[in-house]
Amino acid sequence: MLMQILDYVGVAVFAVSGCIAASRKGLDITALIFFGVLTGIGGGTLRDLILGVPVFWVVSSSYLAVCLAISVIVWFTADSIEKLGKPLRWADAIGIAAYSVMGAGKAVQLGHSPLVAVLMGISTATFGGVLRDMVANEPSAIIKQEIYVSAAAVGASFYVTLYMVGVDPWFAAGIAGAFALGARGGAILYGWSLPGYGAPKTIVRWHGKKPHDSDKPDDDTTRS
Amino acid sequence: MLMQILDYVGVAVFAVSGCIAASRKGLDITALIFFGVLTGIGGGTLRDLILGVPVFWVVSSSYLAVCLAISVIVWFTADSIEKLGKPLRWADAIGIAAYSVMGAGKAVQLGHSPLVAVLMGISTATFGGVLRDMVANEPSAIIKQEIYVSAAAVGASFYVTLYMVGVDPWFAAGIAGAFALGARGGAILYGWSLPGYGAPKTIVRWHGKKPHDSDKPDDDTTRS
Amino acid sequence: MLMQILDYVGVAVFAVSGCIAASRKGLDITALIFFGVLTGIGGGTLRDLILGVPVFWVVSSSYLAVCLAISVIVWFTADSIEKLGKPLRWADAIGIAAYSVMGAGKAVQLGHSPLVAVLMGISTATFGGVLRDMVANEPSAIIKQEIYVSAAAVGASFYVTLYMVGVDPWFAAGIAGAFALGARGGAILYGWSLPGYGAPKTIVRWHGKKPHDSDKPDDDTTRS
């Protein structure tokens, strides 16, 4: 039940982020739906393939209906949504919070080790967005010097730890999700980042880009 | 039988498109074969993984033999093929027509819902080309303002609808494939496109690119 | 036993290459671990999904522990490792040698045909690096005019041939791996390449880039 709610939340908000990305590219309605579906179900599809269980949206096509409905709504409202400020980033952030908990939760329920569960949480949380960015030909948030993978890691490892010590799953999910969302939200609002690998020589060799070039917290245009 | 013919056609023409992309990059024969195989079997591999059935080319390696043969032929003839005009695009278009029908058909035969079947058709039809473009480091056709995903959607949904109402599968495949090919062909020949999401503010924020920048119907160089 | 050793070697050296790529981007420790894990287990994950067997690191999480340990080590030593010269390329080269043999070996042991086994070897050997480069937003080594896919093809086809004619697996693995490493090493050290597809008209149409633009053997910065 908890897992299913998180699944629907994750699918819905990732679908929003995919549709926003497509609307920014000026794509047509079919391509926008495609991006919504791809981003919405991408992470969960990878999770199910790796865990060797039936893919969730093949079992229940209501997930696809959710993506379709979201796509149509965003098609008519993307302009207004943009005015809320950084909608792609925030949808992505909620998705990371929901999916890091859910990916890890599904893996521990299947009896996998904590390490596998944490990695499943991180992969599930980040893969939809990575897919969206790769197909949209934009650099992924993963390679910006911001808290991104770290937020997913926080959500997944908090949930697994709390679950292991016997905390009620709903409570554990609430705590873990809140911390993940808080960590990513701090990056969006205040540009929070962890210290990056800063060997000067190396960085200069890397096309001469400074590591913090793209770390503009108020930039919600390209990848958001 | 019908499914198998469509499978071989899809594999063959997608292999051609992959090899043409590789020849344009001036790659060597091994890399050209790799691109041919990757593009040829990419879509069907994704379809089989998601549907949870054995991957088609692992079951019957004759598909790989087809890709190999095509690669060798293209290696010696790519120059002449180029003179036919937009070979990458046209091979891709025939592949989309064949695979959108076949991906949807395989899913309905396995008893999946129409929505799942249509999505499988679209994914199968577009994934090989997306993979080819991502590995070749070229922007995918999906993010150009042209009829591309829409053509796959037409093929998949026509086939599923006709199949559902009891039309003979061969006839349904012919109709659906022809409409898909026609839609994509119109985009290649006449630059057909559906209206894109056109919020001016948004588009200006998107790197200042206008949505129709890359919509040049006579451009068959980069992604085609 | 042989397969397992090759598996650990491949995972470890690919993890090194992923971490080096992340350190060059100046990423934080979580993102660096993510790149290490992604590159380390990417090829083997694809192999297991396609062969329809349980994913190796879900079965035994010690592979993830190896990636984690490697990531922490590289985080503290990447600077010194860089001084050894082209560490990303060399780690990648050893990984290709180990994984081309191992991917092919796992497929023949499961009773698949030689053609399928060779393709599994090539895919397993190259997918981790392709994934690393795509997520890092760098052009993949596959599209440079160097011996890369060819080295994997040498390793996989030598191993399958020797195994078929009844040579001892350890000996076959040694020979095949040495040839693969030698072929890739020649590309790194001396810029070895096979003749590329060189239709002048085509190449000029391809953004006007000459095919050997990026073939600088002493360039270990971007993709290495």
By three-state DSSP, how is residue A169 classified? Answer: helix
Confidence of residue A208 (pLDDT cuts 50, 70, 90): very low
Flag whether C216 is in a domain: no
pLDDT for residue C218 is more than 60: no
Flag whether B214 is in a domain: no
Return d(Cα B115, Cα B157) in angstroms, integer. Answer: 9
Q: Could you tell me if C37 and A119 are in contact, meaning their C-beta atoms sit under 8 angstroms apart?
A: yes
Flag whether B105 is in a domain: yes
> Cβ of B194 and A29 within 8 Å?
yes
Sign of the CA dihedral B149, B150, B151, B153? positive
Query: Number of residue pairs across A and C with CB atoms under 8 Å?
Result: 97
Return d(Cα B37, Cα A174) in angstroms, integer. Answer: 46
Which one of C134, C142, C196 has the shortest CB-CB distance to B26?
C196
Which one of A49, A143, A205 has the shortest CB-CB distance to C136?
A143
> Cβ of B26 and C203 within 8 Å?
yes
pLDDT per position as a tens digit, B121-147? 999 999 999 999 999 988 888 888 889
Return d(Cα A190, Cα C184) in angstroms, integer. Answer: 45
Q: Mean pLDDT for chain B?
A: 87
Which one of A45, A58, A137 has the shortest CB-CB distance to B112?
A58
Residue C9: predicted pLDDT: 92
pLDDT winner (highest mean) among A219-223, C26-30, C157-161, C187-191: C157-161
Residue A16: predicted pLDDT: 95
Kindly list the residues from chain A whose CB atom is less than 8 angstroms away from the CB atom of residue C31: 142-143, 148-150
pLDDT for residue C216 is more than 80: no
pLDDT for residue B96 is more than 80: yes
pLDDT per position as a tens digit, C55-65? 999 999 999 99
Q: Could you tell me if B21 and B35 are in contact, meaning their C-beta atoms sit under 8 angstroms apart?
A: yes
Residue A86: predicted pLDDT: 87
Quick one: which of C206, C127, C147 has its CA closest to B21? Answer: C206
Flag whether C224 is in a domain: no
Return d(Cα A129, Cα A40) in angstroms, integer. Answer: 9
pLDDT for residue B106 is more than 50: yes
Confidence of residue A149 (pLDDT cuts 50, 70, 90): very high
Flag whether C181 is in a domain: yes
Return d(Cα B14, Cα B11) in angstroms, integer. Answer: 5
Q: Search chain B and give the residue with CA nearest A136.
A: B143
Flag whether B81 is in a domain: yes
Residue A121: predicted pLDDT: 96
Residue A29: predicted pLDDT: 93
pLDDT per position as a tens digit, C128-145? 999 999 999 888 888 888
By three-state DSSP, how is residue A196 classified? Answer: strand
> Which position has the token pair 């393709």?
C119
By three-state DSSP, how is residue C37 classified? Answer: helix
Kindly list the residues from chain A whose CB atom is less than 8 angstroms away from the CB atom of residue C23: 197, 199, 202
Confidence of residue C202 (pLDDT cuts 50, 70, 90): very low
Region A178-203 average pLDDT: 82
**Residue A52 to chain C, least CA–CA distance (Å):** 7
User: Which among C37, C38, C45, C58 is the top mutation candidate for probing chain A, defined by the most A β-carbons within 10 Å of its own β-carbon?
Assistant: C58
Sign of the CA dihedral A72, A73, A74, A79? positive
Expressed in angstroms, the distance from the first to the final Cα of chain A is: 31
Flag whether C36 is in a domain: yes
**Chain B residues 97-126 within an 8 A CB cutoff of chain C:** none
pLDDT winner (highest mean) among A136-140, A197-201, B13-17, C144-148: B13-17
CA dihedral A106, A110, A113, A117 (to 10 degrees): -10
Q: Search chain A and give the residue with CA nearest B192.
A: A28
Q: How far is CA B74 from CA B23, B25, C211, in A?
A: 8, 14, 18
Confidence of residue B215 (pLDDT cuts 50, 70, 90): very low
Which one of A45, A135, A222 has the shortest CB-CB distance to B142?
A135
Residue B83: predicted pLDDT: 86
Return d(Cα A141, Cα A147) in angstroms, integer. Answer: 9
> Which position has the token pair 């079919």?
A30
> Cβ of C221 and A198 within 8 Å?
no
Residue A2: predicted pLDDT: 85
pLDDT per position as a tens digit, C64-88? 999 999 999 999 998 888 888 888 8
Instruction: Name the β-bridge partners of C196.
Output: B28
Which pair of structure tokens corresponds to residue C204?
Answer: 């000029």
Region A120-143 average pLDDT: 92
pLDDT for residue A216 is more than 70: no
Quick one: which of C185, C198, C94 has its CA closest to C145? Answer: C198
> Cβ of B197 and A222 within 8 Å?
no
pLDDT per position as a tens digit, B173-191? 999 999 999 999 999 999 8
Q: Does C137 touch chain A (CB under 8 A)?
A: yes
> φ and ψ at C200, to 5 degrees?
-55, -45
pLDDT winner (highest mean) among A160-169, B78-87, B195-204: A160-169
> Cβ of A221 and B205 within 8 Å?
yes
Residue by residue, DSSP assigns chain B as: -HHHHHHHHHHHHHHHHHHHHHHHTT-BHHHHHHHHHHHHHHHHHHHHHHHTS--HHHH-THHHHHHHHHHHHHHHHHHHHHHTS-HHHHHHHHHHHHHHHHHHHHHHHTT--HHHHHHHHHHHHHHHHHHHHHHTT---GGGSSSSSHHHHHHHHHHHHHHHHTT--HHHHHHHHHHHHHHHHHHHHHH---PPBP--HHHHHHTTT--TTTT--TT--SS--
Flag whether B224 is in a domain: no
Q: Mean pLDDT for chain A?
A: 87
Residue A31: predicted pLDDT: 94
Element (H, E) at C21: helix C2-24
**Chain B residues 148-187 within an 8 A CB cutoff of chain A:** 148-150, 153
pLDDT for residue C38 is more than 60: yes
pLDDT for residue A133 is more than 60: yes
Which pair of structure tokens corresponds to residue B182?
Answer: 């026609």
Return d(Cα C44, Cα C91) in angstroms, integer. Answer: 16
> Cβ of C206 and B32 within 8 Å?
no
Q: Does B45 touch chain C (CB under 8 A)?
A: yes
> Cβ of B24 and C153 within 8 Å?
no
Domain count, chain C: 1
pLDDT for residue A220 is more than 50: no
pLDDT for residue B70 is more than 70: yes
Q: Which domain holds residue B149?
A: 2-205
Please state the ipTM of this predicted complex. 0.84
